[in-house]
Amino acid sequence: MSGRAVDPATRALQARATAPSASAWVSANAGSGKTFVLARRVVRLLLDGADPSAILCLTFTKAAAAEMSSRVFAILSAWTRLDDAALDTEIAALEGAPPAAARRDRARRLFARALETPGGLKIQTIHAFCERVLHQFPFEANVAGRFEVLDERGAAMLAEETRRAVIARAAADPGPLGNAFATVLDAASDQGIETALEAIVAKRDALGALVRAHGTLDTAIAALGRALGLAPGETAATLWPLMLDAAEGGREALARIVAAAAASDKPTDRKCAEKLEALLAMEEPVAAGEAYLDFYRTAAGDWRKPDKILTRAVRDRLPDVADLFAREIDRVAALADRIAAAESHAATAALLRLGEAAIDGYEAAKRIRGVLDFQDLVSRTADLLARSDAAAWVHYKLDRGVSHILVDEAQDTSPRQWQVVERLASEFFAGEGAVERTRTLFAVGDEKQSIYSFQGAVPAWFGRQRTRFRGRAGQSGAPFEDVALHLSFRSTPAVLAAVDAVFAQPEAHQGLAQEDAPTVHAAHRRGEPGRVTLWPPIAAEKRAEPEDWHSPLDHLDEKAPEITLAERIAATIKSWIDGREPIEATGRPIRAGNILILTRKRGAQTDAINRALKAAKVPVAGADRLALAGHIAVMDLAALGDVVLRPEDDLALAALLKSPLIGLSEEALFDLAHGRKGSLYEALRASDDLFARAAFERLAAWRARAGFEPPFGFYARILGAEGGRRRFLERLGPEADEVLDEFLAQALAQEEIEPPSLERFLAHLRGAATEIRRDPDLRRDEVRVMTVHGAKGLEAEIVFLVDGGSAAVHPSHDPAILALSDDADAEDAPLVWLAPRARRPKTVETAVAAVRRKALHEYRRLLYVGLTRARDRLIVCGTQKERKGADPLWIEMVGAALGTIGTPVEAKAGDETFEAIEFRLYEAVAAAGGPAGAGPKPEVELALAGPDPLAMPLPPAPPALRRLVPSGGAEEAPPLFPAARALEEGPDGGMALERGRIVHRLLQALPDRPAASRAAIGRSYLDAVAPLWPEAERAATLARLLALIEAPEHAALFEPGTRAEVAIAGMVDTAGGPASVSGRIDRLCVTPERVTILDYKTNRDVPGSLAAVPEAHITQLALYRAVLSPLYPGRIIDGALLYTETPRLIAVDAATLAASLATLTGP
């Protein structure tokens, strides 16, 4: 938090949140000081006498735990060095009152007491806490006494091994397991089975809860059938025959239709007759049923119209045939849905049985090795705390050691993790415990920042748990504080205003939090300048197919929008750093470390940005995650393994020879390979070149060792004693160091699971999608490029938020296993497999739609997190792709907001200039030394004569002024928060308002631009703020406005010197007394003889003459004229109404305006 004084209201909220005697639930906006409040609550608990060992603080990440611990110890250690007066001031600021001497002494001893506490302060992740509990109670939890925890890599490798073992066993099994395997294989591909089993093993906790709720797996599968609407024993095999057998009128009715249609001379009728006759002849019920189903559907899969299947002539001969077809379509559609449900049920049942075997194998493998994975830590602890036979003893032991629980980032806590917290705190509000003492629960989080659904987080649980714990506290009479922190200590007012403008739109804030409401932020950095800029999205240019068909499909050419955007970003940053451009609020020059570049996902765009920054010689930290198998160093090491196993692999040998391990040049490799008669290995052996001979001898030595050394020892020696690591680092830079470490760790982990084998290790290396997570080193002055997920908890003075142009939600992101329930987060919800080749019934489609809706909400929360990382400047940019779907993208949501509050500007990146939209608040600093106006202020003495004015009675309040609003005539002063008027605007009111705002903005900005650039500026602006408008409408709107501005008869109104958006305020005498007038003139033209007030109207209905103009429009101009009259004495003041639709300019003379004003002011 900054040194600026915090307002009393926020201090009061912080005091309530940190009060040690009350439980508290804190909803905190981004940058509002969550960690600050959490650390001070811990300090206040200690100061209030809480035992350090009795405080449990659960964080989301290890980094957060380290940061929290550092903050707490920084406060406590500082207190040991302060004198009495300074320490009293610190404690008074924390608690609201100066401490007594005994309390001051206790504060000085807290640092030593916390250090000397066995185990120290328990500030840790929930996984670390659960691991400690399970080690403390291994017998009760039924785990190995000295179990080890598998990391993600080890767990993935072990799960993969057991999955493949189950697949191999099932493929050879003639019984139920083999049948299940055949069913799953029919519903998916070979790779699809692996994916499905991986998903079901990951869902083993949910499957276990489902089985426990129903008793057995078979009863759980039966429950799924009921949830899908199937009757007992109903299968696809029993339902398909009903397609034809249950047809209205039976086969005889269909035969009559065939006869009537065949007798027609119309091709449509004959084709129908042929289809029906063919399916009636089919003996196989599934084929016949599918043919009958297809008879009623179009090629696109839609249902045919009953009265369009046969021609009128046949319908006349069969009067009831159209009604029959209509009833049959309804019946067939319902039956098809039941068949889809049966197929989905059968595929899911088979996968669950196959998955049960895979889960059993995985659990057995972990028991044999005495290991647990991260999911086990939480689920085993939750089950331990819930078991009736052991829970009492565990609670007794833990109750003596935990009195205060604090949960950080509570919005990202999964339901299973909440179970652990809830069961730990089960006695807190019951008044019963091992020792009578104050016990509290504290949680802090922000639903708007819940972006980890892929890790099990459910945003709705933040609100659910608040309601639950608040209710328990109320029942027990325990104090409970519900606090909301809106004041941001991070961002400038400009950034926060832009964020609120973005999420003021319903399509942006829906799903952002439990209550669908716009965001509300307040800025602690009041008066500090900042800016938000929107760059127009870059679209791909249409180009011919590449001549080189060998080029990879995912290769980015030089004109790819990702490359263009990356170069634009790099050029902008380069110019800032080289030009020592200052940050407005501080005056300090921009450094690389001040900049954070965020994307939605890793891929071609992040790679292009990293390459562009490196090419521009801008310090960059590199990718925050690296795919191990795809890194060039690992590919070289894998090529080494391939060569020692199969030296005749010419491609692998060529890669190895060029790698840093050998270092053959391109020319030397060509000379060696070109014109050879045998393999490359034989050519290397026969070469007389000294370098080639040395390479062959080194390779021969490696081959000799490979058969006797395990993979880890083999590669460790090459990278260590033989200098391989040094050569890699010399060529690839320090980034390769982490890659090589992870490569060796993979080799060692593989040996711990199965007998060492180089070939098996290489197969695993290429098959496993191992990633290296690289935490950014904030001490290094480098640009950071990462995903929004990776940037959670980080901030930077300048943030680029890059929208890759991909759809907000895509079917490829649908989960493989889906819960079917009104509450999809319920523990015992039936599970269904979204098999790739299986039909989906409506029940499943409804559940899928709900999942996609939640994914869309998380997409919006990702935008919120990305925007709120910025302290001073925010640049939103991206690329544009062809896509389907109406869900607005990040750049479109930001564009819709900045289009109403921003201003078109000319942006420059290197040699490139382009139009952007910018929103600023306040002025920049005066010089690179601090904010403008900083420094000592002159002292001013006030000489007060007479009585103290503070003691004098206040004069009576003046009567409330009548307020005149030019756009609407006379009205009473509006309430502070007027009611929304969306319902009064009609069905198209919102679009009309948006269109009006955009037209006004263009008319404000375009006249001040050079005539030659107006069209380009207008197109860029409309593309950014109105991307959902049809292209023709954008073009027509711009053409109308340009014609209007450049028309000779309007030249005087738009020439240089005229002013746009002129705010006015004044007083007008009316018959009812003085009234205030305020408004904004769209354009004001002032000459020595005349003043013309121009007001724009975007009405669709354009009046034909002055007489047809609505009186309210004339009254508006009359009020403006009344306010301006004292400012321009002796000049004619008239007005004009410019209707933009036609366009048409209607002049309103001074006499007409005077007459209109008289109706308000009286004679």
Kindly tell me the sign of the dihedral angle through the C-alpha atoms of 1067, 1071, 1073, 1078. Answer: negative
Q: Where are the alpha helices (DSSP H) in 1093-1161?
A: 1111-1124, 1150-1161
Phi, psi of 209, rounded to the nearest 5 degrees: -65, -40
Question: How far is C-alpha 949 from the geometric centre of its chain's CA atoms?
Answer: 57
53 is in an annotated binding site: no
Residues 6+ apart with CB under 8 A from 151: none
Give the dihedral of Cα atoms 660, 666, 672, 673; nearest 10 deg: 110
Q: Is 61 annotated as a binding residue?
A: no
Structure tokens at 1010: 């050079």
CB 122 within 8 A of CB 369: no
Are the beta carbons of 727 and 663 closer than 8 angstroms?
A: yes
Tell me if residue 913 falls in helix, strand or coil.
strand
Amino acid at 593: G
Within 10 angstroms of residue 615's Cβ, the number of other Cβ atoms is 12
35 labeled binding residue: yes
Cross-strand bridge partners of residue 1133:
1091
Q: If you compute the radius of gyration of the chain from its CA atoms, what whole number of angstroms results?
A: 37
Residue 603 marked as a ligand binder: no
- Say if residue 414 carries a ligand binding annotation: no
- Report the amino acid identity of residue 523: A
Tell me whether residue 29 is annotated as binding.
yes
Distance of CA 45 to the CA centre of its chain: 35
Residue/partner pairs of 511-515 with CB below 8 Å, 24 or more apart = 511/853, 511/854, 511/856, 511/857, 511/860, 511/861, 512/447, 512/448, 512/857, 512/860, 512/861, 512/864, 513/447, 513/448, 513/459, 514/447, 514/459, 514/460, 514/462, 514/463
Sign for the pseudo-dihedral over CA of 341, 345, 351, 356: positive
Give the type of residue at 507: E
Three-state SS annotation for 232-276: CCCCHHHHCCHHHHCCCCHHHHHHHHHHHHHCCCCHHHHHHHHHH
Tokens of 876: 């939103």
Indicate if the alpha-carbon torsion angle 448, 454, 455, 458 is positive or negative.
Answer: positive
Burial of 262 (0-12, 13-18, 19+ CB in 10 A): middle
**Residue pair 179/353 in contact by the 8 Å Cβ criterion:** no
Separation between Cα atoms, residue 353 and residue 344, nearest integer Å: 14
User: Parallel, antiparallel, or unpaired: how do β-strands 1073-1086 and 1059-1070 relate?
Assistant: antiparallel
Q: Is 33 annotated as a binding residue?
A: yes
**Which tokens is 200 given?**
């079901």
Alpha carbons 224 and 233: distance in angstroms, whole number: 13
| Cα 399 to the center of its chain, rounded Å | 39
Residues 6+ apart with CB under 8 A from 205: 375, 379, 416
Those residues whose C-beta lies under 8 Å from the C-beta of residue 442, and which sit 6 or more positions away, are 17, 23, 24, 25, 26, 38, 41, 404, 405, 406, 407
Q: What b-and-e string marks burial along 73-98, b requiring 16 or more CB atoms within 10 Å of the CB?
A: bebbeebeebeeeebbebbeebbeee
Instruction: Describe the chain by its helix, strand, coil percentages, rounded to 5.
Output: 50, 15, 35
Residues 785, 790, 792, 793, Cα dihedral to 10°: -80
**Among 838, 833, 894, 835, which residue's Cα sits nearest to residue 862?**
894
Task: Tell me the backbone φ, ψ of residue 927, rounded to 5 degrees.
Answer: -155, 170
Query: Known binding site: residues?
Result: 28-35
What residues form the annotated binding site for ATP? 28-35
